[in-house]
Structures are given as structure tokens and as C-alpha cells.
């Protein structure tokens, strides 16, 4: 009996135990059943790199319009993630320049300064809870500033985000049947907040991202308020979660593998490569959903139009059929073309921002705290689904004052 499959031979995925170390489960899944139905909701999952990437590049078959099936508290599809080309392409042309590599690099000094201030706040204590003290506030502050949202409302935004993405964590006693209600309530709070924020920007224009959306045009026409709300809904969820999750996974790996950590401490120029390799190996956003628009056969399995399928990015990124020495974490891996940010027309809009934040955070942390470890007797705690380290207690030796 495998720990990754139940008695019926269905894979057991996305729980906290699986999230703490998913790579062996991915391997068994690719070997035993690259297209499988899980033990939860009889969901279809696709595990091999070639199948995942092919699906991501074929939105005409594997559609992103999954808003109703997922019930994430939205009243309409999130833009541009839950719509398909050619409609999606119009929005990407509008939004991509706001997240260009050059524009994101302009934010680097601000993020580097913020990282230093955060470390100053706990360095002398010789310990921290990494998620709460660093991985959450650093990217979240950066995103809120980019969007023109107040830093002092971060807890409010984080509550909404967590109620939508991981309600089972925030509401441990809630019946699973209530998750849809929790998400719907969070969605209403998010819509209400941005309605009010847009009214304020109409009275007092601003040059932040939200302000720019109010004056933006597509084909000579300004965006409808509903379109702006649907863009904001997606950006808040993504901007407040994925970089936080990635930072936690990175530091948990490096705390458990001191020889790898020592490499980037001695050679900081390896950090950009380490960021890419840990994105591949850890893949915090483990999967993306799609709905089939037509019947299709994958790996000998016949799937029908209307079915929900889950594309396992984490499994694709550790597939030895695509990556040489896939199980070896190599910070100098050549041509590391991973799928952690997706592939094809729905590739992550904020990938340049995420990469810059991750590199800056890793550089600043290891310059100040090169030798750290998990606090004795403690166990890191991962969330299900998106692999955020909900609890990562670290410690280090503080130099004595001379």
C-alpha cells in the first residue's frame, strides 16, 4: 500500500502531509497513472510534463473559464486569468507593460530597503517565525504600494485572501460544506472595498496601478467598473500569496540543506539561478485548473468535454523525461525552462515582479543571516494546495558585542 494512493488506487493529493514533500508522490503518480482521478471529488489530474505543457498551450481545448466550478467567491471570471484568447489577449496587452521587467526593476531599491528593515526588527533576537516576520510582509507591502493600497489594511486584505484560497486554515472548525459560503463572503468584502477605492480615485486621481486602470482604454474604450473589479480580484489574490509561499519553501529547503545554503552564501552570484531551481523543485503553486471544451485523449485516457482537470505544475517540473537529473537540485542548471509560472497565453502576469522580489529577498537575508536552522523540536507546517509555510520557526547565532 502506497502512502500516496488510497485503497481504491486513487492518488491522495494536496493535503498538508503531501505538500510537505510532494516530489516522491509526483514520481509515483507519473509512473502509475499519469492521468488519474483523485480521492477528492473524483477530480482528474494530469502529471507528465509533456501533457501539462501541451494543455497549457491549448486554451481552445483546456479552458481557463473555471470560475463557476471553483466557486472562489467571484461573481464573474477573474481577468485575465479566467478568460481565454482572443478576449484574454486584449487584457494582457493592456496589463503586461505595467509588469514589465524594466518597470519591476525600478522597485528593487524600495524592496531591498524594506527587506533590511524587516531583518533589523528581529535579527538581534536570534530567531523568527519566517512566514509571519518576513515572507508575508515583504512581498505584500511591495504589492500594496504598487497598487496604491494602504499598508495599514494589510491584515484586512490577508484575511480576505486566505478566506478565498485556504478557508480550511482560517476556519478550522468550519464544515467543508461551508467553504463556499466563506469564499462568497470574502468575495463580497473584496468587491465592496474596491468599489469604494475606485470612487475615491475618481475624486482624487492617482498614478498607482489602480488609478491607471481607471483611465486605461482598450480599443479606444475605457474599462467598465466590473472589468476593473475582476482584475483587482485576481491581482490581490496573486500578489499577496505566491511570493510569500515561494519564500517559505525556499528557506525551508535551505535550512534543511546547509551545504546548498553555503554555496549561495559563498557565491551570491548563484542566487538568481537558485531562485529558478527552487521554483522548479518546490513549485509552490502546485497545480492549475482547467475545464475541457471538447473530448480529448491523454496518455490513453479518454476525457470528456465539460470535465474539470488539474494540471500538476509541480509534477511537470520534476519529470525526468524533460529535466536531466530531475531529482537533483542544481543551482547552475542550464536552460532551466520550468513551468512554475505557467506556460502559454496564461503565463503569470507578475513573473518579473516575483523573480525580482525573490532574488532581492534571498540576497538580503543571506547577507545578514548566512547560517540559520530550524528551531530545535519544531516542525514546519505547510498549507494544502498552494504550498505556503504557515509555520517556519528559524534561529541563528547572534554575534556578541565586543
Over the stretch 61-77, which tens digit does the pLDDT of each residue have?
999 988 654 567 888 89
Q: 216 with 250: CB under 8 angstroms?
A: no
- Predicted pLDDT of residue 174: 63
- Helices (H), ranges, 123-270: 130, 137-147, 154-165, 167-170, 179-203, 209-215, 225-239, 242-256, 258-266
Q: What is the mean pLDDT of residues 79-106?
A: 94
Between 28 and 9, residue with greater pLDDT: 28
The residue whose grid cell reads 493600497 is: 149
d(CA 60, CA 150) in angstroms, rounded, equals: 39
Which of the four pLDDT bands, split at 50, 70 and 90, describes residue 303? very high
Q: 380 with 392: CB under 8 angstroms?
A: yes
% of the chain residues with pLDDT over 70: 96
Q: What is the mean pLDDT of residues 237-266?
A: 96
3-state class percentages of the chain: helix first, strand second, coil last, to nearest 5? 55, 10, 35
How many degrees, rounded to 5, is the angle at CA 20 between CA 179 and CA 36? 70
Q: 246 with 284: CB under 8 angstroms?
A: yes
Distances (CA, A) of 87 to 65, 93, 117: 12, 11, 42
Residues paired with 45 in a beta bridge: 36, 310
- Predicted pLDDT of residue 181: 87
**DSSP H or E segment with residue 69:** helix 67-70
Q: 282 with 255: CB under 8 angstroms?
A: no
Is the sign of the CA dihedral 44, 50, 52, 54 positive or negative? Answer: negative
Q: 367 with 264: CB under 8 angstroms?
A: no
How many degrees, rounded to 5, is the angle at CA 235 between CA 230 and CA 241? 135
Residues paired with 62 in a beta bridge: 292
Best CA proximity match to 224, nearest among 209, 214, 212 = 214
d(CA 206, CA 149) in angstroms, rounded, equals: 11
Which of the four pLDDT bands, split at 50, 70 and 90, describes residue 316? very high
Residues paired with 391 in a beta bridge: 381
- Predicted pLDDT of residue 12: 72
- Predicted pLDDT of residue 139: 93
* Burial of 183 (C-beta count, 10 Å sphere; 0-12/13-18/19+): buried
% of the chain residues with pLDDT over 90: 74
Is the sign of the CA dihedral 206, 210, 213, 214 positive or negative? Answer: negative
Least confident piece of the model among 77-91, 177-191, 222-236, 348-362: 177-191
SS3 287: strand
Q: Which domains does the chain have, with CATH numbers?
A: 16-394 (1.10.630.10)
Is the pLDDT at 229 greater than 80? The verdict is: yes
* Mean pLDDT over each residue of the chain, to the nearest integer: 91
Q: What is the mean pLDDT of residues 44-49?
A: 95
Q: What is the mean pLDDT of residues 187-195?
A: 94
Full-model pTM: 0.93
Q: What is the mean pLDDT of residues 42-53?
A: 92
d(CA 326, CA 313) in angstroms, rounded, equals: 14
Q: What is the DSSP annotation of 224-264?
A: PHHHHHHHHHHHHHHHTTHHHHHHHHHHHHHHH-HHHHHHH
Amino acid at each position: 500500500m502506497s502512502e500516496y494512493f488510497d485503497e481504491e488506487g486513487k492518488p491522495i493529493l494536496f493535503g498538508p502531509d503531501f505538500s510537505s514533500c510532494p516530489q516522491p508522490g509526483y514520481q509515483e503518480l507519473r509512473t502509475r497513472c499519469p492521468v488519474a482521478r483523485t480521492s477528492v471529488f473524483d477530480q482528474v489530474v494530469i502529471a507528465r510534463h509533456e501533457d501539462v505543457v501541451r494543455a497549457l498551450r491549448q486554451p481552445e481545448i483546456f479552458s481557463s473559464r473555471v470560475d463557476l466550478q471553483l466557486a472562489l467567491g467571484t461573481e464573474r471570471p477573474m481577468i485575465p486569468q479566467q478568460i481565454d484568447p482572443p478576449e484574454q489577449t486584449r487584457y494582457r496587452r493592456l496589463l503586461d507593460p505595467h509588469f514589465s521587467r524594466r518597470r519591476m526593476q525600478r522597485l528593487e531599491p524600495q524592496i531591498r530597503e524594506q527587506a533590511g528593515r524587516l531583518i533589523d526588527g528581529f535579527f538581534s533576537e536570534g530567531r523568527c517565525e519566517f512566514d509571519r516576520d518576513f515572507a508575508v510582509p515583504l512581498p505584500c507591502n511591495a504589492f500594496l504600494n504598487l497598487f496604491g493600497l494602504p499598508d495599514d489594511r494589510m491584515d484586512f486584505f490577508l484575511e480576505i485572501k486566505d478566506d478565498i484560497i485556504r478557508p480550511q486554515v482560517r476556519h478550522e472548525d468550519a464544515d467543508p460544506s461551508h467553504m463556499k459560503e466563506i469564499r462568497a463572503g470574502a468575495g463580497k468584502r473584496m468587491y465592496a472595498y474596491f468599489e469604494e477605492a475606485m470612487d475615491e480615485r475618481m475624486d482624487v486621481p492617482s498614478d498607482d496601478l489602480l488609478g491607471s486602470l481607471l483611465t486605461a482604454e482598450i480599443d479606444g474604450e475605457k474599462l467598465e467598473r466590473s472589468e476593473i473589479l475582476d482584475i483587482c480580484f485576481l491581482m490581490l489574490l496573486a500578489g499577496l500569496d505566491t511570493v510569500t509561499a515561494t519564500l517559505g519553501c525556499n528557506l525551508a529547503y535551505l535550512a534543511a540543506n546547509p551545504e546548498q545554503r553555503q554555496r549561495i552564501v559563498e557565491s551570491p552570484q548563484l542566487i538568481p539561478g537558485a531562485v529558478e531551481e527552487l521554483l522548479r523543485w518546490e513549485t509552490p503553486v502546485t497545480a492549475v485548473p482547467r475545464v475541457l471544451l471538447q473530448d480529448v485523449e491523454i496518455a490513453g485516457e479518454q476525457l470528456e468535454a465539460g470535465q474539470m482537470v488539474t494540471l500538476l505544475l509541480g509534477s511537470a517540473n520534476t519529470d525526468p523525461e524533460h529535466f536531466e537529473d530531475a531529482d537533483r537540485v542544481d543551482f547552475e542548471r542550464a536552460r532551466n525552462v520550468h513551468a512554475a509560472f505557467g506556460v502559454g497565453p496564461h503565463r503569470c502576469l507578475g513573473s518579473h515582479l516575483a523573480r525580482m522580489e525573490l532574488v532581492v529577498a534571498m540576497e538580503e537575508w543571506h547577507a545578514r543571516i548566512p547560517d540559520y536552522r530550524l528551531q530545535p523540536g519544531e516542525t514546519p507546517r505547510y498549507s494544502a494546495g498552494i504550498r505556503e509555510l504557515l509555520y517556519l520557526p528559524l534561529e541563528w547565532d547572534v554575534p556578541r558585542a565586543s
